[in-house]
């Protein structure tokens, strides 16, 4: 709400970066897959792309005619999808922020939009009480999910891309299969509005954040509530797992960001979660008996438990593949920074040209006044 971004380093004794640029509250942030760019959307109706370095340089573009509620990079880092109070979802190229197309069938504010893991689909959640699934190529709405009884605050794809989960002001979380377009699971575990959710990378767990001040972890395989986490004083507004799933972070109206450590793995979640933030936080395992929970689990949902890699694989081959993957990731990261630097320079050049034109016009006016 203070119009700033904070980039926190997870390394000890490393200072955080505070980025200033937006003219109003920052509603959403998202790292590019390479980690070399950060997108932010604001109430000032703009989207900014930042290089997360000490300089804090950014390019800015007027993305919508209303508050920008959501920004999300595609898995290849080449596209960006944004959602806004102007009732539209828009898709942009990351390089030079070129507008590609708009999706505009929602009839109220759009709170959230996400790419599918393979980049072929887009899902959006709106105050019109619907979740819409879009085909990126044809730009058509494939299906509208209308089961929510209130505004839909947040939506995301399962890591497999076969289903989606959404959180709403009706205090529920719902999971749908996007291949058969049917409701799989319905959770009513919160006593207030659910603001945010995030899938664990294994696909076996879902974490939610609510106005009831709690975070809750759901076991998707068994279709039950696993843990309730108490830490925030007031509404928990957002939550997200890290890419590896060993950490998750939550934010709240209490102006706190908490980083938590997940001590369960895909095979055994018996250990209690612990918070890395000092202060009073507790985790309460749930037996599910005091919660309303309905579940219809589909074996085709592909909620796969992660396994160790095939033991028959050659160790040297693994090392070569890891080295190659790291090299490619580094190259992609450097390309991200390079294209962003070019964009920044182009914006500066445009500003310089505008100033030069203005000076020339002023000089011409002075000359004309003198001659007259």
d(CA 152, CA 13): 39
Judge contact between 30 and 72, C-beta under 8 A. Answer: yes
Q: How confident is the model at residue 9 (pLDDT cuts 50, 70, 90)?
A: confident
Helix (H, G, I), strand (E, B) or coil at 265: coil
Res 357: pLDDT: 74
Res 315: pLDDT: 59
Res 322: pLDDT: 67
What residues contact 118, with CB distance under 8 A and at least 6 apart?
75, 161
Any domain includes 58: no
Any domain includes 292: no
Res 289: pLDDT: 31
d(CA 210, CA 11): 29
The CA-atom distances, in angstroms, between 334 and each of 12, 127, 339 are 25, 39, 9
Q: How confident is the model at residue 371 (pLDDT cuts 50, 70, 90)?
A: confident
Q: Residue 71: give its domain's CATH number.
A: 2.130.10.10
Any domain includes 107: yes
Q: What is the DSSP letter of 85?
A: T
Q: Where in the sequence is the domain holding 229, given as residue range(s)?
A: 65-264
d(CA 298, CA 234): 35
List the end-to-end C-alpha distance of the chain, in Å, as a whole number.
Answer: 54
Any domain includes 175: yes
Q: Which of 74, 2, 64, 1 is nearest to 34 (CA)?
A: 74
Number of other CB atoms surrounding residue 35 within 10 Å: 14
Its sign, for the CA torsion 267, 216, 17, 233, is: negative
Any domain includes 10: no
Q: pLDDT of 190-204, one tens digit each?
A: 999 999 999 999 999
Any domain includes 247: yes
pTM (two decimals): 0.75
Residue 346 reports pLDDT greater than 90: no
Q: pLDDT of 261-297, one tens digit each?
A: 998 754 444 443 444 443 344 444 554 333 333 333 3
Any domain includes 351: no
Any domain includes 315: no
Dihedrals phi, psi of 344, to nearest 5 degrees: -60, -45
How big is the chain, counted in residues? 372
Q: pLDDT of 135-152, one tens digit each?
A: 999 999 999 999 999 999
Q: pLDDT of 44-100, one tens digit each?
A: 999 999 998 888 889 999 999 999 999 999 999 999 999 999 999 999 999 888 999
Query: Number of structural domains, the chain?
Result: 1
């Amino acid at each position: 709400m203070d119009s700033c971004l904070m980039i926190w380093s997870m390394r000890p004794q490393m200072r955080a970066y505070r980025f200033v640029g937006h003219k109003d509250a920052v509603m959403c942030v998202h790292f590019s897959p390479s980690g070399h760019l950060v997108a932010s959307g604001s109430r000032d109706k703009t989207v900014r792309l930042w290089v997360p370095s000490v300089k804090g340089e950014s390019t800015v573009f007027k993305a919508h005619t209303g508050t920008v509620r959501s920004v999300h990079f595609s898995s290849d880092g080449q596209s960006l999808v944004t959602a806004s109070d102007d009732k539209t979802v828009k898709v942009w190229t990351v390089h030079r922020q070129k507008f590609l197309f708009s999706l505009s069938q929602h009839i109220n504010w759009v709170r959230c939009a996400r790419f599918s893991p393979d980049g072929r689909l887009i899902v959006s959640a709106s105050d019109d009480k619907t979740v819409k699934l879009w085909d990126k190529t044809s730009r058509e709405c494939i299906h509208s999910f209308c089961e929510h009884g209130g505004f839909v605050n947040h939506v995301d794809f399962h890591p497999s891309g076969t289903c989606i989960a959404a959180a709403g002001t009706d205090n529920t979380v719902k999971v749908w299969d996007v291949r058969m377009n049917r409701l799989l699971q319905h959770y009513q575990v919160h006593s207030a509005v659910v603001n945010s959710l995030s899938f664990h990378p294994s696909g076996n767990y879902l974490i939610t954040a609510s106005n009831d001040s709690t975070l809750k972890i759901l076991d998707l395989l068994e279709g039950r509530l696993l843990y309730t986490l108490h830490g925030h004083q007031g509404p928990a507004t957002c939550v997200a797992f890290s890419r590896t799933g060993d950490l998750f972070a939550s934010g709240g109206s209490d102006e706190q960001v908490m980083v938590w450590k997940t001590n369960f793995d895909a095979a055994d979640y018996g250990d209690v979660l612990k918070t890395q933030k000092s202060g009073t936080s507790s985790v309460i395992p749930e037996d599910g008996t005091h919660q309303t929970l309905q579940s219809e689990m589909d074996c085709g949902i592909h909620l796969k438990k992660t396994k160790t890699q095939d033991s028959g694989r050659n160790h040297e081959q693994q090392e070569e593949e890891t080295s190659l993957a790291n090299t490619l990731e580094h190259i992609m990261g450097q390309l991200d920074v390079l294209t962003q630097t070019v964009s920044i320079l182009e914006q500066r050049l445009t500003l310089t040209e505008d100033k030069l034109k203005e000076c020339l016009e002023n000089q011409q006016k002075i000359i004309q006044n003198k001659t007259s």
